[in-house]
Every structure is written in C-alpha cells, then in structure tokens.
Amino acid sequence: MPRRKRTAGSSSDGTADSDDSAEPEKADSGSHSDPTVRSSARLTRTSLRLSQSSHDAPPDVKQVAERDESPPRTPTGNAPSSESDIDISSPNASHDEGAAKDQKDSGSDPSHRPKRRRFHESYNFNMKCPTPGCNSLGHLTGKHERHFSISGCPLYHNLSADECKVKATERDKQEEERNQSQNEDNRHATRHQAPTARQVRYKEKVQEMRKRRDVGLTKEQKEKYMEHRQTHGTSREPLLENITSEYDLELFRKAQARASEDLEKLRMQGQITEGSNMIKTIVFGRFELDTWYHSPYPEEYARLGRLYVCEFCLKYMKSQTILRRHMAKCVWKHPPGDEVYRKGAISVFEVDGKKNKIYCQNLCLLAKLFLDHKTLYYDVEPFLFYVMTEADNTGCHLVGYFSKEKNSFLNYNVSCILTMPQYMRQGYGKMLIDFSYLLSKVEEKVGSPERPLSDLGLISYRSYWKEVLLRYMYNFQGKEISIKEISQETAVNPVDIVSTLQSLQMLKYWKGKHLVLKRQDLIDEWKAKETKRGTNKTIDPGSLKWTPPKGT
C-alpha cells in the first residue's frame, strides 16, 4: 500500500507512519479552519497521541470504549475483511474509535478525528478460533493470551487456559533443570562415556512409570470416552488418559505444545496464516496426505487449503475435475531422466535440475510440505535429483528422493532427502541413504549429508550409521580397528563415525589415546534384528548402472 507522506516533524526511525491527529482543545476553539494551525497541531509520536486521547476524552467516551469489544468497522459499516482494513496499534484502539465516533456525533470537523493506525500484531480481532464454543482466549503453549487456530486451542485439547499456563511453567522448569544437568555432565564428556548417575536414575524412573500403566480401559472409562466422542465428534481431541503411561502422554503433550509454538512463530513472522493461506491436505495418487509445513505455492493455489497433485509429473491443480482430466491425457508414467538403478519393483532415476527444471521445482515445492529446514525451491539447476520409485501396472510411484550438488566443495553427498509420508517407517529412508553412500563409493569419495538435518532425517542417519558400524565390526577379523579404514570402506565421514561410536559407548579415552571397543552384545543384537528383518529393503550394488557425471 502507498506510504503516507511524512510531515516536517515526523519520526525518522521508520517504525511508525506519521499520524494525523489533532489536539482536542484546538479543535474545540475553531482553529481547524486555518490549515497552517491544523498542520502544526499534528502529533507525530504515538505516545503523545495515546496519552492525550486518554486524558482529554470525556468519561462517557471511555465507558463506550471499554464496553465495545467488537472489531472495528469500515466506513461502509461492514466488518473488515483483511488486515489492511484494520488500523489498530494498541489496546487503546477501541478507545480511539469511540472518540472518533463521539466527535462525529458532536458535529466537529472530520479532519480532527483521530485516524486509525496500522495493525502490526500477530492476530486481528476479526479472526476467531474454529472450535465450537471457544472464545479464543488462552493458548496451548501457555505463553499467549489469545489463539485463532485449532493447534493452539486449549478447549480442543480438553484443557483450560489456566491449565496450559501451569503446564508451561512446569515445562520451563524441567528444561532449565535438564540444561543445568547437561552442562554439569558435559564437563568431562570426553573421558566418561558411561551414563551418569543422574541418567541412570532417570532411566529407572521412566521404566517404573511405564510398568505402572494400565493394561486396558475399564468399562466405565470406555463409556466415558465413547460419550465424549458422540458429544463432540471431531471438534475435540479424544480423551487420552489411561491409554498409555503418564510419561508417554506427557511427552506427547510437550510435542503438541512445541508444534503449536512453531506455528505461532511462523504466523507472527507472516510466513503463514493458518486457515486462509496454508495448504492443509494434498491428493497424491490414491492417497490424501496431511501436510506438516508451509510451502510457497502460488497464492491462488495455497489459499484453497487442498491441492491436487499428479503423482507422475507433479503438476499441481485446484480441483478433482482438473486432476481427472489431466490424468486422462498425462503421458508420464515415471520421472524424467535416466534410470540408474533397478531391482525388482524399486527404481532410482537421476534427474538433472538444468534439463528438467519444472519437474524439479515441483518436486521441491512438494517436499517443503513435509520438511521444516528446506529452503531450495526454484534454483534447481546446480543440483541432481535421485528419485526412488516403486513400480506396478499403473506406473512408477514416487517413494522419495534426495538432491545432490553437482560440484560440492565440502563433499556433501546429500543436500535434501525425503521419504513420502505414505512410505515412511518401511525401510525406504535407509535405502535412500545407502544409495547416496553407494554413489560416493563409486566416486571414490567420503560423503556426509548437508546440515542442518531435519528431526526425522537426523534419526534416520543416526540409525544408518549405527548399522554400518555394527556390520563393519561383525565382519572385521583384524586386531586393530582404524577410523580412517572404516571411513574409506564405508564412505562415511570420520566425524560421523566418531559421533556414532560415542553414542554407542564404543570409544574410550585411555592413556592419552582414543580406543575403539568392540561391544559384542550390540553386534549380536544387531545381527538378530538383521536376520529377522531380511534383505527386502536393501540396495544391491550390482544393480547400479551409473558413472559419475563429468563437466557439470
């Protein structure tokens, strides 16, 4: 919107526009007829305008302002439809509106009415929580006075605003104690690899709490839960007490509060406006997926809330009808590029971001719906994309992918990695990671993923590094284990190897040297799981038909 023209006495800090408001005394004395006097009477500081409006306004105006809690009205009398129609900057805004209305009724000059200011808060009074019966007060995190989404609604989570504040205080206290204990434990972390006494006590406490959980729900509890579901339907969260241990339930509550706080931060930064400009679900093939994060799709698509995506060419559409017509004439049945790996129904295609720019951009936009740290959307030309698919009689369905810089100075073998939600927890994530290290072995390089990793990505990589090291220990027949030799054989960065050995308590500092311990109990446990799992979800190096690209 166009910026107001600054007056000679306006503020130069750029934090607020010049405010055209007049002193009430001069308005009553008739000085408004002189434009020079009116111009000199303009106040440029927000504090002066607020203080004068609070001191000079008559008592009846203040009472009207205190009673009026409805959102401000536009000149046409309708409630504003967007933030651009609301000009409020402080809790005294309703008072200013009442004062302006009082001046209008008294017949004073309209030029002397206090003008409304811009609304820069994270919410506006025209919004309302969608939960039935909720007054939008309180927040699940206990740190905000109001909420406007289900994710932050205490009522939806069967809590009150006061209970949320109490839980927030308890979480902050626990976090402070945890950080203090970690700082004390980390002072000698290089020499003491065994769990501390505090960690052992905490583990025993958790085990005891989990043992005390109920085996099942009683008949009265089941009836109570069913009554709650029939009364509120999907407008309330199901009752969760007695379903699991108190410890696991508290972990779940903490995760809910943390996710709600992250959404609130994005909303305050203006990146998302939940309910109006965020894609909540996508229809992808035969699946309907709930999204996790905001993705910068064009506004005319994002504001729909639901997006329809072709699972082969990744084109996004607005309706089911458009998708059906597109699928009738879409000739794609697999990703573009070269198929560099195939074993059974699993294939991997190498897609060049420079040759297939539109496909790669659509892939990045789709991935951002499920990745928090991803920032690459449009500049895809310097990257190669390795897309894993699972084939059936209808085509090659997208399982996941990882991107890789064509020329990485830090030897990153993965820039971004994602497994589609419908294929998670099935072993495909480790297959993608294993495939990235297989490419590093062919290139005769040592690789490592680009940081920062997402939460799910970090869990997957730590699990993969653990399996690689235990497999190496199982097959190792020598006397001395060298981290350098492990790195050369597995293509894993030595830093990642050391961090994994420390987490497994297989690295000991003794007489000025770091020694690698071969823990047979962990190796036997891994071997038992490996035998039980089988070899269905593994990468076969013999099925790779790929040579490192040159001149890219």
Give the active site residues.
Answer: 450
3-state helix, strand, coil in the chain (%, to 5): 45, 15, 45
Query: Which residues does residue 404 pair with via DSSP β-bridges, in sequence order?
Result: 384
| Helix (H) and strand (E) counts in the chain | 17, 13
Tokens read off for 325: 């017509």
Pair 34, 22: CB distance under 8 Å: no
Residue 14: burial class (beta carbons within 10 Å; 0-12, 13-18, 19+) = exposed
Distance separating alpha carbons of residues 92 and 77, to the nearest angstrom:
21
Return the amino acid letter for 522: L
Q: Which of 474, 467, 481 is nearest to 430 (CA)?
A: 467
Distance separating alpha carbons of residues 150 and 290, to the nearest angstrom:
15
Residue 408 C-beta-side C-alpha neighbours within 13 Å: 20
- The alpha-carbon radius of gyration of the chain (Å, integer) is 31
Handedness of CA 204, 205, 210, 213 (dihedral sign): positive
All residues at 6 or more sequence positions from 107 whose CB lies less than 8 Å from its CB, including other chains: none
Distance separating alpha carbons of residues 289 and 240, to the nearest angstrom:
24
Query: Which residues does residue 391 pair with via DSSP β-bridges, in sequence order?
Result: 396
Pair 140, 160: CB distance under 8 Å: no
Tokens read off for 142: 């206990």
Strand order through the sheet with 281-284: 287-290, 281-284, 306-309, 316-317
Distance separating alpha carbons of residues 415 and 408, to the nearest angstrom:
10
Pair 307, 282: CB distance under 8 Å: yes
Distance separating alpha carbons of residues 458 and 470, to the nearest angstrom:
18
| The dihedral formed by the CA atoms of 428, 432, 434 and 436, expressed in degrees to the nearest 10 | 180
Three-state DSSP at 418 gives strand
Phi, psi at residue 390, to the nearest 5°? -120, 125
Distance separating alpha carbons of residues 283 and 275, to the nearest angstrom:
18
Distance separating alpha carbons of residues 458 and 464, to the nearest angstrom:
10
Q: Which of 444, 483, 479, 478 is nearest to 465 (CA)?
A: 483
